[in-house]
A and B are shown apart, each in its own frame.
Chain A
Amino acid sequence: MKYLGLVIVIICGALLLYATQDFPAWGDPSAPVHTHLSPHFITKGLEETGAPNLVTAVLADYRSYDTMFETVVVFCGGIACILLLRTFVQRTRGREYRHIPTGVVLHIQNPEKKLKDTREFELIDNMWVPQDLIIRTVTRLLIPFIQIFALYVVAHGDFSPGGGFQGGVIFGASLILMAISFDLRTALNSISERMLGLLCALGVVIYSGIGLTCIFLGGNFLDYSRLTAILPVDPGHIRALGMLGVEIGVGFTVMAVMVIIYNNIASAGRYKQGL
């Protein structure tokens, strides 16, 4: 079986290498992409879109339709992860509560019985280990800065490298860091499963909503210049503003999907105890 796989890989690789011979040579100045597309983007990009970062201008304006379906692909990835991994079967083996001042652990067999005062007792996992003071403190200091940096990356996507995908991943990484350094329950207290599902869909809704708004204002799908009818911005900047809007949508979806995938993998779909 291994050798069969190797043979298939070698045949496919040889076909791909053979097909690349039809491509223009690397850096060939007479290739079609360098005679038509690139000069247009480089010379007209700034005045047509108002975004200094050409990569974002191409991704979120010239090829915005493409990016919208990339966002949908990320959304579908998150949904597929939930459908594959999430289990709703609860094992009723009771709960463990830890008395915080003394460290005594109570095991309650009856699943209906709950402790009222959570100020002194905390619900813990049956594989509970004490959280390290150094890791907790450093993470608590670090997470706000990571999140501010993520917001900066999203907001400055059209001026400097970055954008919705990168910013969303960094924001999701800060939440994953919280789930790793504390525990999954702390992370779920700050952003719940329901909230993550909503944010995941909200991003796609924002993106396609901006596109549909442009249709209702009389333009093409995702033609941001039509947004001047409802936003009091000067027409030179309206396309950059539309790009910022769709980048925010992408950021929401990517952030939520990253955290959903981590939560499902780390808790084996039970959302009880993480790594």
Chain B
Amino acid sequence: MHWPIDLIILSLVIICAIAAISVRDLLGTAILFGAYSFMLCLLWANMGAVDVAFTEASVGAGVSSVLVIGAVFRTTRRTKD
């Protein structure tokens, strides 16, 4: 379909995923995880699965980021491993 867009978004998904597990600051991880979900949402929309994209945008990029950030504020911001 739109393979250049697919290629760009897929590489951004992989970059976000690797960055999210390698960053030491857990708040940064939460934000990168939100970016990862948003890129996946764009990917679903590009494939024509608008319902899935909608769910990914509201649950993955929206509420779960807030919940993860809330958990980071209540625990610790630095990871130990």
> Measuring CB to CB, which residues of chain A are less than 8 angstroms from any residue of chain B?
2, 53, 55-56, 153, 161-163, 165-166, 169-170, 172-173, 176, 180, 258, 261-262, 265-266, 268, 275
- Given the interface pairs A161-B50, A165-B55, A166-B55, the reply to whether A173 lies near B62 with Cβ below 8 Å is yes
Q: Which of B55, B62, B71 contacts A265 (CB 8 A)?
A: B71
Q: Is the CB of B58 within 8 A of A166?
A: yes
Kindly identify which residue among A163, A166, A262 contacts B66, using a CB–CB cutoff of 8 Å.
Answer: A262
Q: Pick 6 A–B contacts, CB within 8 A, sort by A.
A: A53-B51, A153-B54, A165-B59, A180-B66, A261-B67, A266-B73
- Range of interface residues on B (Cβ < 8 Å): 10 to 19
Task: Decide if A266 touches B74 in the complex (CB within 8 Å).
Answer: yes
Knowing that A161-B50, A170-B58, A261-B67 are A-B contacts, what are 6 other residue pairs whose CB atoms are under 8 Å apart, sorted by A's residue number? Answer: A2-B81, A153-B54, A165-B55, A165-B59, A169-B63, A265-B67
Verify B62–A161 contact, CB threshold 8 A: no
CB <8 Å contact, A258 and B63 = yes
Which A residues are in CB contact (< 8 Å) with B63?
A: 169, 172-173, 176, 258, 262
The chain A residue with its CB closest to the CB of B57 is: A166
Considering the chains assembled together, what is the distance between the CA atoms of A161 and B58 in angstroms? 13
A268 touches B74 (CB 8 A): yes
Minimum CB–CB distance for B27 against chain A, Å: 12
Query: Which of these, B51, B55, B58, contacts A173 with CB under 8 Å?
Result: B58
Contacts of A180 in B (CB 8 A): 66
Contact of B51 among A161, A170, A258, A266 (CB under 8 A): A161
Indicate whether B70 reaches chain A with its CB closer than 8 angstroms.
yes
List the A side residues contacting B58 at CB < 8 Å.
Answer: 166, 169-170, 173
